[in-house]
C-alpha cells in the first residue's frame, strides 16, 4: 500500500476488479458441487469432502483454499474445513439460500452472454441472442435443465425480497389482487397471508401454472387464490383492484413494458392500482453498484433495464398510469400507480 494509505495501489485495485469474475466462478463451482451441503453437519477433512462431492481431492483442496480466503470456509489444521455463516447461504436448505442463484451465474448461458457486453454497448442490442443464438426465453424453453436452475434461482432471489416488501406495504386494503407473471405463487402467498380479507389470482404462462400453487397451499391460503394461465402481453385477468408485476418490467424494453402495463391498466376496476415490485435505480451518489450491475445484466441477458424513479414515472405516464408513490421495501420497492 502507498505510505499513509489504507488502500492498495491503483494497479492492485484494478487487478481486484478484473479478477472478480474468477471469484464469482469459484463461488458458482462451490455451489454446483454441493460443498456447503456436505459441510452442513460440521467440519470434515478433505478426503471425506472429496468423497461426498465426487471430486478430485487435490483439485477440491484448491477450490476450498480459495473459498476460505474469501470467507466461505474456515481451514483448520490437517486440511479440515468448516462452513462459515457466509458459506451457509450456499446450503440447499438454508433459509437464506442462494445456491441455485450462484449456480445460474456460473452457467454458460449467463457467463457466455456477459462476454458480449462490449458489443451490446456498441450496438444497443441484447448480447444473449448474439452469443447463444436465440433470445433467453427461447433458449430456456429449449434447455429444460438450464430452465430448472433458472427457475430455482429466481425463486431463491424472490424469497429474499418478499418479506421486506410485504412488511413495508399494506396489501390488505385491496379485495382482489392479480399477481401477473407471479411464477409458482410465493409472493402472492405471502401477500394473502398478510391480508386475511383479500383474494388473489395467480397468473402466468400455462407451463408455469401447470406446476404452480404449492406456496399457496403451504401458506394455507389456497382457498383464497385462483390459478389462471395466459400471457400478459395479450391480457391480464380482470376484476382486481390491484395488479402486481414483481420484477417483470425490468425484463423488457420500454415498448414491450408499455404493452404489459396497458394490459394491467385495462384489467383494473375503477380506482385500482398497478404495483410494480422493482429494484429502483438510485440517483447519484449510489451507495452500492448492485442495481447498476443488475441493469447491465438486463442489457446482456434479457434486453430490459433497471429504471430510476423518473424513468418509472415517464414509462407509467406513457401507459396511461400516474405514479403515486414509491414505498421502499429492502432491496426492492413497491412502485404504486393509478389510472389517469
Which CATH number do you get for residue 77? 1.10.10.10
Same domain flag for 281 and 254: yes
In a domain, 5, yes or no: no
Same domain flag for 131 and 158: yes
Region 24-39: what's the mean pLDDT?
98
Region 297-309: what's the mean pLDDT?
96
Nearest in space to 74 (alpha carbons), one of 62, 63, 87, 91? 87
Confidence of residue 255 (pLDDT cuts 50, 70, 90): very high
Model pTM score:
0.89
Domain boundary (77, 106, 135) is at: 106
In a domain, 252, yes or no: yes
- Which carries the bigger pLDDT value, residue 75 or residue 2? 75
Output the CA–CA distances (angstroms, integers) from residue 311 to 78, 253, 305, 327, 339, in the order listed: 56, 12, 10, 16, 17
Confidence of residue 1 (pLDDT cuts 50, 70, 90): low
Same domain flag for 155 and 64: no
In a domain, 231, yes or no: yes
In a domain, 291, yes or no: yes
Q: Hey, what's the cell of 61? A: 483442496
In a domain, 112, yes or no: no
Domain boundary (106, 135, 170) is at: 106
Q: Which residues are catalytic?
A: 250
Helix, strand, coil share (%) of the chain residues, nearest 5 = 50, 20, 30
Q: Hey, what's the cell of 160? A: 429474499
Residue 120 CA to residue 137 CA, distance in Å, equals: 18
**Residue range 225-252, pLDDT digits in tens:** 999 999 999 999 999 999 999 999 999 9
**Residue partners of 247: CB distance under 8 A and separation at least 6:** 158, 161, 277, 278, 279, 332
**Residue range 43-75, pLDDT digits in tens:** 999 999 999 999 999 999 999 999 999 999 999
Same domain flag for 206 and 93: no
Q: Which pLDDT score is estimated for 2?
A: 56
Please state, as a whole number, how many other Cβ atoms lie within 10 Å of the Cβ of residue 287: 7
Residue 299 CA to residue 117 CA, distance in Å, equals: 8
Residue 169 CA to residue 165 CA, distance in Å, equals: 6
**Residue range 200-225, pLDDT digits in tens:** 999 999 999 999 999 999 999 999 99
Residue 274's domain comprises 117-339
Q: Hey, what's the cell of 303? A: 434486453
Same domain flag for 56 and 202: no
Same domain flag for 82 and 125: no
Give counts: helices (H), strands (E), the chain. 18, 10
Residue 14 CA to residue 131 CA, distance in Å, equals: 27
For residue 201, the domain's CATH number is 3.40.50.150
Nearest in space to 46 (alpha carbons), one of 80, 10, 75? 80
Q: Which pLDDT score is estimated for 283?
A: 83
In a domain, 1, yes or no: no
Please tell me whether the peptide bond between 285 and the residue prior to it is cis, using omega within 30 degrees of 0: yes
**Residue range 94-109, pLDDT digits in tens:** 999 999 999 999 999 9
Same domain flag for 100 and 125: no
Same domain flag for 97 and 175: no
**Residue range 138-172, pLDDT digits in tens:** 999 999 999 999 999 998 998 889 999 999 999 99
Q: Which pLDDT score is estimated for 116?
A: 97
Region 298-308: what's the mean pLDDT?
96
Confidence of residue 310 (pLDDT cuts 50, 70, 90): very high
Same domain flag for 33 and 124: no
Q: What percent of the chain has pLDDT over 90?
A: 92
Same domain flag for 244 and 302: yes
Model confidence at 284: pLDDT above 90: no
Residue 280 CA to residue 50 CA, distance in Å, equals: 43
Residue 178 CA to residue 202 CA, distance in Å, equals: 6
Torsion sign, CA atoms 195, 199, 205, 207:
positive
Same domain flag for 180 and 252: yes
Same domain flag for 65 and 128: no
Tally the residues of the chain.
Answer: 340
Nearest in space to 32 (alpha carbons), one of 149, 115, 143? 149
The number of folded domains in the chain is 2
Domain boundary (51, 73, 106) is at: 106
What rounded mean pLDDT belongs to the chain? Answer: 95
Amino acid at each position: 500500500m502507498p505510505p499513509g494509505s489504507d488502500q492498495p495501489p491503483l494497479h492492485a485495485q484494478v487487478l481486484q476488479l478484473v479478477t472478480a469474475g474468477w471469484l464469482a466462478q469459484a463461488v458458482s463451482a462451490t455451489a454446483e458441487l454441493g460443498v456447503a451441503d456436505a459441510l452442513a453437519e460440521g467440519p470434515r477433512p478433505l478426503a471425506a469432502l472429496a468423497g461426498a462431492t465426487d471430486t478430485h481431492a487435490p483439485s477440491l483442496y484448491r477450490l476450498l483454499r480459495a473459498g476460505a480466503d474469501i470467507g466461505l470456509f474456515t481451514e483448520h489444521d490437517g486440511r479440515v474445513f468448516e462452513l462459515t455463516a457466509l458459506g451457509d447461504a450456499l446450503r440447499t436448505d438454508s433459509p437464506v439460500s442462494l445456491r441455485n442463484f450462484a449456480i445460474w451465474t456460473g452457467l454458460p448461458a449467463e457467463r457466455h452472454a456477459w462476454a458480449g457486453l462490449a458489443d451490446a454497448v456498441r450496438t444497443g442490442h441484447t448480447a444473449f441472442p448474439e452469443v447463444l443464438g436465440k433470445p433467453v426465453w427461447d433458449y430456456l424453453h429449449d434447455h429444460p435443465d438450464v430452465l430448472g436452475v433458472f427457475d430455482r434461482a429466481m425463486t431463491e432471489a424472490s424469497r429474499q425480497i418478499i418479506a421486506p416488501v410485504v412488511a413495508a406495504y399494506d396489501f390488505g386494503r385491496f379485495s382482489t389482487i392479480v399477481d401477473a407473471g407471479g411464477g409458482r405463487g410465493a409472493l402472492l402467498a405471502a401477500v394473502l397471508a398478510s391480508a386475511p380479507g383479500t383474494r388473489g389470482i395467480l397468473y402466468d404462462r400455462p407451463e408455469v401454472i401447470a406446476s404452480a400453487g404449492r406456496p399457496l397451499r403451504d401458506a394455507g391460503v389456497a382457498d383464497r387464490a385462483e390459478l389462471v394461465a395466459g400471457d400478459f402481453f395479450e391480457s391480464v385477468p380482470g376484476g382486481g383492484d390491484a395488479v402486481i408485476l414483481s420484477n417483470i418490467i425490468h425484463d423488457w424494453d420500454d415498448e414491450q413494458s408499455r404493452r404489459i402495463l396497458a394490459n394491467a391498466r385495462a384489467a383494473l376496476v375503477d380506482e385500482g392500482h398497478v404495483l410494480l415490485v422493482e429494484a429502483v435505480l438510485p440517483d447519484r451518489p449510489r451507495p452500492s453498484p448492485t442495481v447498476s450491475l443488475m441493469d447491465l445484466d438486463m442489457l446482456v441477458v434479457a434486453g430490459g433495464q433497471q429504471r430510476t424513479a423518473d424513468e418509472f414515472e415517464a414509462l407509467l405516464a406513457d401507459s396511461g398510469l400516474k405514479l403515486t408513490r414509491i414505498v421502499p421495501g429492502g432491496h426492492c420497492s413497491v412502485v404504486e400507480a393509478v389510472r389517469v
